[in-house]
Structure formats: C-alpha cells, structure tokens
Structure 1
Amino acid sequence: MRSVALVPVLATVLGFGAANPTATVPEPPSKRAAVPTVTASGNAFWQGDTRFYVRGVDYQPGGSSAMQDPLADTEICKRDIAEFKKLGINTIRVYITDNSAGHDECMKALADAGIYVIIDANNPLYSINRLDPGPSYNTKYLQSVFASIDEFIQYDNTLAFFSGNEVINDNVNSTLSARYVKAVTRDMRQYIKRRSYRAVPVGYSAADVAQNRMQLAHYMNCGTDDERSDFFAFNDYSWCNTNFQESGWDQKVKNFTGYGIAIFLSEYGCTTNGRDFSEVAALMSDKMTGVYSGGLMYEYTLEKNGFGIAKIASPKAASVQPQDGFAKFAKALKANPAPSGDGGFTATTRSVACPTKDADWLLDSTLLPAIPEGAMKFMSDGAGTGPGLKGDGSQNAAEGTSTGDATPGSAAVTATPSSSKNAARGGVGGGSVERAPFAVAALVVVLTLTGTLLL
C-alpha cells in the first residue's frame, strides 16, 4: 500500500485539494498481516509484484436457502479449510455473510492457509430487485452493503467485493436494472475511497447470457473513472468436457482482448458431460492469461443442484465426504500451476464505449441514479452496525430512494468529473498516470525549498 505522507504536500502544490479538505479517517489496524494484499492494476491482479490468478472455489455450505454465514462459524470454517488445503486453492467466494457478526478467527485461519476471500456485498434480504430496481436502491440497502465493506476490508486476505450477482439475466427487462447495479459499484468504490480504506477491487459477477454478455461488460467499463468497475467477472458453464475451440472460449478471449480491466470467471464447471476440469489447463495457459485472471469452480459443497465436490451431511457436520470431482479438481490444479511472469497482461487500463439501445439491451441513457440522499452520511460517518441476516430486508423499504440522476463523475459525492480516457488506475479510485511526472516535479521543488529553508 502506498504511503500517504506526501499527499497533503502534493495537494497543496498542485492545487488538487480543497480549501478545507475532509479529515482523513485512519484505516483500522489489519487483523492479519501474514499475506500480502492483492490489488488490481492494468487488466490483472497483483500480489505485490507477482501476477495473481484466482484459483479457487465458490463456497456456500447449505446453499443460498440456508442463509448462513460460513465465515462466522469457526468450526465450520476450520473443517473446510483443511479440505481447501488438499485442493490447493488460493481463493474462495462467499455469497452470504453476516455483517453484524465477527469473522476474526476464520479470516485469520484462511490467511494462515494462504487463502483469499471474495465477498458478495448483497444477500437475499439486501439486494437489487432486477425487475423493479428503483425502489430497492435505497438508503437501507446501501447501509447493509457499506457495513459489509466495513467488516471485511479490515482483513488483508479480502481480495475483492462483488456489487451484484446475475442481477441482469436472459429476461430482457432485467437489462434496465444494470444502471442500478453500476450505481452500487460506483457507491462502493466511493465509500472505500472516502473512508480512506485500502484499495480493495469492486466489480460485478454476471450471468453468461449470449444476447447481452458484451453489452453488459462494456456498460460496466464505460463512462467516467468513478463509474467504472475495477474488474468484470462472469459465470461460464460452456466448457463441458470439450476443448478451447468447441467450448467457444477462444471467441470469448478474442472478444475480451483489449477490454481494459481484469476479467475472471466467478463460476465455472459444467456437469453436462461429467467433469474432468480440463478447462483449468486453458485458464492457466498463454491462450488466456493475457486476458483472464483465473476463475472459481462452482462449487465446494454438494447441494441439490449436484455441482459440489464435497458432501456434508448438514452445515455443522464434523466431517466432509469428498466426491469424485474433488480429486479430479485437485489433480487439475496441481498439473496446471499459475504461470510465472506477467502472463502477457496489459499494463494500462482503458474504458470502452457504452452500448447503445437495441432489442437485447433496453438502456438508452448512460446516466446513473444519484446516491440516495440519506446514504450520503455514510461516506463521512461510516455505515455503523450492519443489519446482519435477521434484518427486515431492504427491497420493500419504500423510502430513502434516489431522487434523480447523477452528473457523471459526481454520484452526488464528489463534485469534479473524472476523465475516462485511457486512465491507468493502480487500484480503486486511482487516477491517470499522466499527472505523475508533474507530481514528482512538484515534490522535488517542495523538498528543495524545504532543504534551502533549513540551511
């Protein structure tokens, strides 16, 4: 993490700061410093100076219907961490967490095992309604989202946050909810920046819907810098014991080449023709590493849908029964380690053109809803105690909604539009590298003057 000691000096010299800047809120102490934080830069993730590839599983014992947080139960967590070590994974995705609970023990145990966590900031009670998004984008909802950030951003092994999961699907009317999902992404990134937290990447987990896949991807990476995602992920089940060409993955790599931000698979692992996980070899090969940063296999626990590789009699069962896919997945990961070097990544981020309205994409405006007025206070005061998994929910709150559209670059939080032209962001909220030479020059002048005065 970059030092901020020189920021006040540079802000004064270059005129970046306001006359009365908002006081910096100190970042809370890390709960675990044994693993380096992961950042997003260019179209890749980085663990220090080493390229980081997501090599993991989706993890939600009991499924979404159970509404349980596996990271808040130390016994469950440690039981499964032992199995994660056998698999050789480095990341898990958790769909449901309790932002009113403590997670120190489990997150520490995961960090000790070298495992990072991607957190879904939504849950079934607090989320965007895809077919009636306006009322569900409200202060109560954002309080829960921000409380989840507060809880997990303190851990060094929190890799990223998802602002939504498959909100936009094959129902064409659901494309109208994309502006609200993008607004949530913007709000989360602004919250992280305004609370002076470390730059944890924020992005969206999309359904792999052929008719709107690229429109949605472009939409999440167009506009001003503050409106764009730090990464784009999608759930892809098209590799069914086939190969790079037959699965269509070759065309997806081609379509996403030059996209401009990190991409990874938030779910993969077709079960149609059995599972040998041969797609791991493709993900870790030079056919894909210039564009993709790995992926998450769906899923760890065997649920009613039949995708899991580990059977658990009940969420709190003491033991795990590995299924046939467990050994196959572990073998695929071992045979295809993360490649060395930079994998052919693209060093500079870039925005893309926003999609235009058509029969499969109903949005005809690039404007995003302004953050609800009641949620503005969270930026300075923090979100407070989260509602957890026993709250009243937010989709039917019926108050505290957005009152209009935001000026691009503002979100009603900041006042200055930011350029989206080929900006190179070093993590969340970064700016163009074009200012760097001037910042360095200014610093030299300041230090020179300071040294002169001291002589």
Structure 2
Amino acid sequence: MRSIALASVLAAAVNLVTVVASPTPTEPEQPHKRASLPAVTASGNAFWQGSTRFYIRGVDYQPGGSSAMKDPLADTTVCERDITEFKKLGINTIRVYMTDNSANHDTCMNALADAGVYLIVDVNNPLYSINRFAPGPSYNAKYLQSVFATIDEFVKYDNTLAFFSGNEVINDNVTSTLSARYVKATTRDMRQYISNRGYRKIPVGYSAADVSQNRMQLAQYMNCGSDEERSDFFAFNDYSWCNTNFATAGWGEKVKNFTGYGIPIFLSEYGCITNGRDFGEVKALMSDQMTSVYSGGLMYEYALEENGYGIVKIPSSDSATVEEQPEFAKFAKALSANPAPTGSGGFTSTTNSVPCPTKDANWLIDSTELPSLPDGAKDLMKTGAGAGPGLKGAGSQNAGTGDTGNATPSSAGSTATSSSKNSAGLTAGPLEKAPLIIAGLVCVLTMTGTLLL
C-alpha cells in the first residue's frame, strides 16, 4: 500500500511539473558578462531597477554620425574616453544608433556598467533596416538574421536596458505610414526571438519621429492588438521645447494624451537648439507633472556634428580627448539640480492595450494584420542567428520578395494585467514558478518519507 501511495504521490508531483513548467528553450541563455548593475525591467507603465522606479537620464551617442558607419562600443579607446565624460555628466543611460554585431563588446559594456550606465541599442543600420517606401522587400530573412544577431550580442550584458526595433521609419510623408506594419512585425519577431532563445525579457520598442500629424496614431498602433504583437514601450523624439517652458512647449497636452496609454513612454531624443539651450526639459521630466506618464528621456546628442546639437567636440576620430562645449556644463547642471524622484512617481501598475487607429488622410493602414515571419527566418527562432554580418555585409533591403502573407496571432486582444506590489507599493517582478515547484516537490517527498516510516 505504501509503495502504491508513493507512486501516486510521485506521479502527482510529475504532473504538477508538467502543467506548470515552461517549454525548454532551444539553447540556454548565454552567461552574463557582468552583474554590477541590476537588469532593468518594464512593468505597468514604468521601468524598474529591482523594486525602484527607473528614469532614463541620458544622451544619444553616435560619434561621427550614421555616415561614419562605426560602432563606438567596439572601440575601447573611444568608449573609455567618452565614459569619463559620461561620469562628469552624471547620466545613467546612453543610446547607440549603430553597432557591429560581429564585434566583441565586453570591454566597453563592462566599463559602462562600472560607471553605472545602461545601453539602449538600435538593432538597425543603413545596410540592414526597413525601407520606409519599399517595406515589403526589406522585411526578409537576411534583415532579421542581422537583427537577431544584434540581440545575441547584447542580451548577455545586464546593463543592456532595451532594444529599438526602428528609428523614424515612419515620417511626415504619409506613404511612410504603410511601413508601420513591418516595423511592428519586427518588434513582434524580436520579442518572440528573445522568448524562444530563453533570454531575459529585455524590453523592445520603437523610436518615433517628431511628427505631430501621426505620432498618436503610431503610438496607438504599436500598443494595439494581441499581447504577442504589442511593444514593451513607446519612445518618441520631441524638439518642441525651444528654451521655453512646460506650457509653451505643449508638453502638458502630450501628458494628457498619453495618460492611460498602458506601457512605458520616454523621449528617445530631445533638445531643441533654436533659441539656445537651458535644458529645462530635465526639470519637467523629473517633476510630478510628467512622472505618472513619462520615464525620462535622452538628450540629443553627445558628439558635436554638422547639425550643431552636440555638447562635446571631438577633434578627430582617434582623439584621446574631447573639447567640452558650454552646453556640456549646462546639461550636467540640469541633471544635478533635478535628480530622479523617489517613490513610485504616480505610475500606473497595470499594463493595457489601446484601440488600433483607423485609416484617415494621415494614416493609411486599414488592417490590424501583420506580415508573417519570412520562411527563411523561421529556423532562426530554433537554431539562433549565428554570426552577425556586421557593418560591412552585403545588406538586406532588396533581399526579399515582399510577399510573406499575413500572420494569424495566437491570441486576440489584450486585457489589463495587474502587477504585484511589494510592501512599499512598488511594482515587483513576476514571481518565478520554478522555485515554487522545487519547494512543492520537497514537501511532497518529505510527506512521502513520513508515510514510509
């Protein structure tokens, strides 16, 4: 009888594991290179560093601009030179628009972590990206292989904060709104790849252009539909604060428009130079006027280029020093005078979708369907991306046929999901099930041992 009881108990325990356990990933997550900074997560409409609300307080960083086709995080001399300046500024995040997914980034990423700096990385570059006016052919397996290879390279660093699936693909040309379907499909594919590979859930979202006529429709589009299709956050560029104030810049109206949006929002670029710069945006972003909706922002930009936005001048590409411009001290002062708020900042603890936008003169998409994953990319979900093509590959924009068909999402719609709270009222991460399963098995086996006595 006791042996039968033991078998029954063990069978029940095995069934418990079968019901609760997640599918085994095709490969284990790559070991983290460094854990000196806790990974940042998204929950509700905010980012979190553990149980502490995290605000993005950083700069956009691409010395030489996109035309230089260089990865500043693959050059130890360049990144270590600039990390010294990042420390002076007191920033906690940088955004890099272009990286080499065939290069090693251990030294620079570890140095950034030691300086308390996180990275938001764009997965595209001029060779591998969505063509806004011919999006179909540019959404193909070669493109996604490069995107996934970039994920593989940076997911192993705890201070990788987020990935951008696109940057300003949709602009003020109304025809470009048709490319939003492919950007959203890329976002979906990135999130699925991260999940399938067993990686930690690094947030994926889009960086929108400063275009008033379609900004809200694009934001709605990126956060509508099934859970598998929606972004983890939405970011946009905003140059409306031209040495003015909260009201004149129209920021109050934008806060109102995004209230209840349901996922984190931040500024991926800000810093108008029309009337000079006092960086009053920092004070506004860190105030209770905005923290219930916004999670900070990135000032454009670090290196002075021909457009005149940079706060340091770099004499040459291999220079060991930089020349701080007057705006450098102004930005550092603004950050120092306006630290990140304590407490929850009035965040919303639930995550929810919004209705999809309807077609009109400024938004040409009239369907909620997204393109299917290209056939050649399906195996990548199982086997991994492999070696990245880097910044000298053959490119991908004309590598597809433009006809992948439409995908059928596995779940329709989305419901608001309440986040768990700790005793301080802050959002806590999802409870891991594996420890509970193990504890349950221990209890079951202990009880079984007692029965056998």
Q: Would you call these one fold, judging by a TM-score over 0.5?
A: yes
Q: Report the structure number with the largest CA radius of gyration.
A: 2
Indicate if the aligned counterparts of 1:175 and 1:362 stay in contact, CA closer than 8 A: yes
Q: Measure, in 2, the Cα distance between the counterparts of 1:98 and 1:47.
A: 27
Aligned to 1:205: 207
Indicate if the aligned counterparts of 2:128 and 2:395 stay in contact, CA closer than 8 A: yes
Aligned to 2:189: 187
Aligned to 1:173: 175
Q: 1:8 to 1:234 in 2, by over 3 A?
A: farther
Say which SS state the counterpart of residue 318 (structure 2) adopts.
coil
Q: Report the CA distance between 1:204 and its aligned residue.
A: 0.2
Q: 1:305 to 1:438 in 2, by over 3 A?
A: closer
Aligned to 1:412: none
Aligned to 1:260: 262
Indicate if the aligned counterparts of 1:260 and 1:349 stay in contact, CA closer than 8 A: yes
Aligned to 1:429: none
Indicate if the aligned counterparts of 1:43 and 1:349 stay in contact, CA closer than 8 A: yes
**AA at the equivalent of 1:406:** A
**AA at the equivalent of 1:325:** E
The one-character-per-residue Cα deviations of 1:194-223 (angstroms, maximum 9, x if unpaired) are 000011100000012111111000000001
Pick from 153, 156, 159: which aligns with 2:155?
A: 153
Equivalences for 1:51-130 in 2 at 5 Å? 51-130=53-132
2:23 matches 1:12: no
Indicate if the aligned counterparts of 1:137 and 1:402 stay in contact, CA closer than 8 A: no
Q: Report the CA distance between 1:439 and its aligned residue.
A: 11
Q: Measure, in 1, the Cα distance between the counterparts of 2:315 and 2:89.
A: 20
Q: 1:224 to 1:97 in 2, by over 3 A?
A: same
Q: 1:285 to 1:24 in 2, by over 3 A?
A: same
**AA at the equivalent of 2:91:** I
| TM-score of the two chains, using structure 2 as the length reference | 0.90
Aligned to 1:403: 404
**AA at the equivalent of 2:37:** V
Pick from 285, 288, 291: which aligns with 2:287?
A: 285
Indicate if the aligned counterparts of 2:302 and 2:312 stay in contact, CA closer than 8 A: yes
Indicate if the aligned counterparts of 1:93 and 1:117 stay in contact, CA closer than 8 A: yes
Aligned to 2:362: 360
Say which SS state the counterpart of residue 327 (structure 2) adopts.
helix
Aligned to 1:423: 417
Aligned to 1:452: 447
Pick from 264, 268, 272: which aligns with 1:270?
A: 272
What stretches of structure 2 of length at least 5 have no aligned partner?
1-12, 421-427
Indicate if the aligned counterparts of 2:185 and 2:229 stay in contact, CA closer than 8 A: yes
Q: Measure, in 2, the Cα distance between the counterparts of 1:436 and 1:115.
A: 27
Q: Report the CA distance between 1:442 and its aligned residue.
A: 8.8
Say which SS state the counterpart of residue 70 (structure 2) adopts.
coil
Q: Measure, in 1, the Cα distance between the counterparts of 2:131 and 2:101.
A: 20
Q: Measure, in 2, the Cα distance between the counterparts of 1:203 and 1:64.
A: 20
When the two structures are aligned, how many residues end up with a matched partner? 430
**AA at the equivalent of 1:421:** T
The one-character-per-residue Cα deviations of 1:219-241 (angstroms, maximum 9, x if unpaired) are 00001101000000000000011
The one-character-per-residue Cα deviations of 1:332-377 (angstroms, maximum 9, x if unpaired) are 0000000000111111100000001111110000000011011011
Indicate if the aligned counterparts of 2:225 and 2:412 stay in contact, CA closer than 8 A: no
Indicate if the aligned counterparts of 1:93 and 1:119 stay in contact, CA closer than 8 A: yes
What stretches of structure 1 of length at least 5 have no aligned partner?
1-6, 410-416, 427-432
Aligned to 1:321: 323
Q: Report the CA distance between 1:322 and its aligned residue.
A: 0.5
Say which SS state the counterpart of residue 107 (structure 1) adopts.
helix
Q: Measure, in 1, the Cα distance between the counterparts of 2:251 and 2:216.
A: 14
Indicate if the aligned counterparts of 2:59 and 2:94 stay in contact, CA closer than 8 A: yes
2:240 matches 1:234: no
**AA at the equivalent of 1:177:** S
Q: Report the CA distance between 1:396 and its aligned residue.
A: 1.3
Q: Measure, in 1, the Cα distance between the counterparts of 2:14 and 2:364.
A: 45
Q: Measure, in 1, the Cα distance between the counterparts of 2:218 and 2:412.
A: 22
Indicate if the aligned counterparts of 2:139 and 2:400 stay in contact, CA closer than 8 A: no
**AA at the equivalent of 2:321:** S
The one-character-per-residue Cα deviations of 1:133-175 (angstroms, maximum 9, x if unpaired) are 0000000000000000000000010000000000001100111
Say which SS state the counterpart of residue 129 (structure 2) adopts.
coil
The one-character-per-residue Cα deviations of 1:251-298 (angstroms, maximum 9, x if unpaired) are 000000010000000000000000000110000000000000000000
Indicate if the aligned counterparts of 1:56 and 1:296 stay in contact, CA closer than 8 A: yes
Q: Measure, in 1, the Cα distance between the counterparts of 2:419 and 2:365.
A: 27
Q: 1:425 to 1:165 in 2, by over 3 A?
A: farther
Indicate if the aligned counterparts of 2:25 and 2:197 stay in contact, CA closer than 8 A: no
Q: Report the CA distance between 1:452 and its aligned residue.
A: 2.8
Q: 1:23 to 1:49 in 2, by over 3 A?
A: closer
Q: Report the CA distance between 1:391 and its aligned residue.
A: 0.3
Say which SS state the counterpart of residue 254 (structure 1) adopts.
helix
Indicate if the aligned counterparts of 2:25 and 2:196 stay in contact, CA closer than 8 A: no
Identity %: 71
Say which SS state the counterpart of residue 270 (structure 1) adopts.
coil
Q: Report the CA distance between 1:87 and its aligned residue.
A: 0.5
Aligned to 1:390: 392
Say which SS state the counterpart of residue 127 (structure 1) adopts.
coil
Indicate if the aligned counterparts of 1:371 and 1:402 stay in contact, CA closer than 8 A: no
| TM-score of the two chains, using structure 1 as the length reference | 0.90
Indicate if the aligned counterparts of 1:241 and 1:277 stay in contact, CA closer than 8 A: yes
Q: 1:344 to 1:10 in 2, by over 3 A?
A: farther
Q: 1:253 to 1:8 in 2, by over 3 A?
A: farther
Say which SS state the counterpart of residue 71 (structure 1) adopts.
helix
Q: Measure, in 1, the Cα distance between the counterparts of 2:414 and 2:442.
A: 32
Pick from 20, 42, 45: which aligns with 1:43?
A: 45
Q: 1:215 to 1:101 in 2, by over 3 A?
A: same
Say which SS state the counterpart of residue 140 (structure 1) adopts.
helix
